[in-house]
Amino acid sequence: MSPTEDVDAYVLKLRRQVRAAEVQLRDLRRQLVQAEKQADEARNLNKNHDRGLPFAQQSKRLAVLRNIGQEQGYEGHTNGTEDRSQYARSKRRWPLRKEEYKRYGRQLIMPEIGLEGQLRLRSCSVLVVGVGGLGCPAALYLAGAGVSTIGLVDGDTVEESNLHRQILHSTEKIGMSKVDSAVEQLRSLNPLVNYVSYREHLTPQIALQMFDRYDLVLDCTDHPTSRYLISDTCVLLQKPLVSASALRTEGQLMVLNNPSRAAGDVTGGPCYRCVFPRPPPAESVTSCGEGGILGPVVGIMGVLQALEAIKIIVAGISNPFDADGNIDISTVGREEASNASAPRQESPSLLLFSAYTSPPFRSVRLRSRRKDCVACSASATITRASLTSGSLDYAQFCGFVNPVSVLEKDSRISANDYDAQQFMLEWFRQTRGSEVYGPMTDTIIDVREKVQFDLCHFDRAINVPRSEILADDEPLRRALEELPARRQITVVCRLGNDSQLAVRKIRELRRRGGAIGSAETDDSLVMDIEGGLRAWTRNVDPEFPEY
């Protein structure tokens, strides 16, 4: 391109820019005239109606103001009486989101909750240990109430036998992690809550780190070992604890370590060890799987746990805000006793529930912290180091060895071997007659409780319940007296634990010469079925009911 062509191109470019600027200038002049006109109209409206604007002219004035606002950069709504400018909305700040007012409205209007209580709930974190019969309803109502964060701890999977009482789980979730099943259901109820999953069983090594990020703990487990561990951890971290249990048709509830104080502070609430310094005998502890549980009973106790947790959070302190106007949840449940405006601290108590008594509830007042408690007294021996190091053996402290093993290997027979033995005996009966019937046929003693025996049992079984054997020798003595000499005795129970204790009891009676017939029976002819009726169902007869 020649120099002349370059100059011509440059001139053309400038002309185009001038024309574009002239068009823009004309547009700006037109906008200015329009804006001045609207401003004059607005001033005239104010001048002519100092004492009020006639209703008929309100829409006209709003239109003028809206146009001015849009030209100044304020993008407002355009739906009539609902108009709000960006400026107005930026100045109006509500402490809760609009959907929270709607979702929690029925509890917000209660004076016991109110706005302050809801803000405490929204800023509090709760750890639920155990997602079973207690943890399901507790977590459900905490999520519904709007607790900020809910942690769920459980290492089990959903089983069909859980479904009659563990209401967060369903048939299609059998085999799924209980924690995952619960979170899925809770999130469908309230997606505004933050859920944290711990798909593992609680151990001393991880308890401190896990509990430390939460403000309140719910013990929804079903075993003494976990109850002592949870309580000890809460004392060390100064966390309030709501503990509950349920079995058959009865339940109990306690609020522990509330107010939560350091070990040695006598103003703190009692811990689990203050109430139960020593665990119950291992043989007296019965699980829901062994003793049974009525669904509504454990549901009631779980709902009460959620209620107590909400009460602690909402009434924890008199003023939830710090100097910057932000809520301070760190002092929940730790208000000073001298604060006259704080809610009155309830005396610690043990709430007992029984479905078949009237009235079903009664309360037992608890004492304050024990002076010699190993967890919360001034002379406490349980420390962070002893907990995390594993030197505290909770299973040994509670006297539990799982599974029960009190018999030698040759004193037990597997379900498969027992089935083969019975097949051979039946063959002898059919081919050789009764000459071998006496010395080779066994007697089956079923030591389950009668209500379980009535559900299903072996055809020739004799029912001598474990509870009767532990209370008195006479029922077992009478059963043994009726047996022929040298009759093999096979003891069976549901899981293969109680049957071992019964075998040992039979041998003790024989040694004391207290049972006719068994005096002539050596120990090798008294045995139990390893694994009990559950092993029989899973390995031999799938049609035999399992419950």
Residue list for the binding site for Zn(2+): 271, 274, 373, 376
Q: In this structure, what token pair is assigned to residue 214?
A: 């939460």
493 is catalytic: yes
Q: Can you say which residues are annotated as belonging to the binding site? A: 133, 154, 161-165, 178, 222-223, 271, 274, 373, 376
Known binding-site residues for ATP equal: 133, 154, 161-165, 178, 222-223
Sequence-distant (≥ 6) Cβ neighbours of residue 545 within 8 angstroms:
455, 456, 537
Please state, in angstroms and rounded to a whole number, the distance separating the CA atoms of residues 141 and 110: 17
Matching residue, tokens 């120099």: 3
Contact call for residues 469 and 505 (beta carbons, < 8 A): yes
Distance, CA of 371 to CA of 479 (rounded, Å) = 50
Full DSSP string of 411-434:
GEE-HHHHHHHHHHHHHHHHHHGG
Task: Please enumerate in sequence order all residues whose Cβ is within 8 A of that of 326, keeping only pairs 6 or more positions apart, or say none.
Answer: none
Say if residue 509 is exposed, middle or buried (CB neighbours under 10 Å; 0-12, 13-18, 19+).
middle
Catalytic site residue from 234, 288, 398, 456: 288
Q: Which residues contact 190 (CB under 8 A, 6 or more apart)?
A: 103, 143, 144, 146
Residue found under tokens 């009664």:
362
329-354 in b/e form (b: 16+ CB < 10 A) is: beebbbbeeeeeeeeeeeebeebebb
According to DSSP, residue 252 is labeled E
C-beta neighbour count of 374 within 10 angstroms: 15
Q: Which residues are catalytic?
A: 288, 493
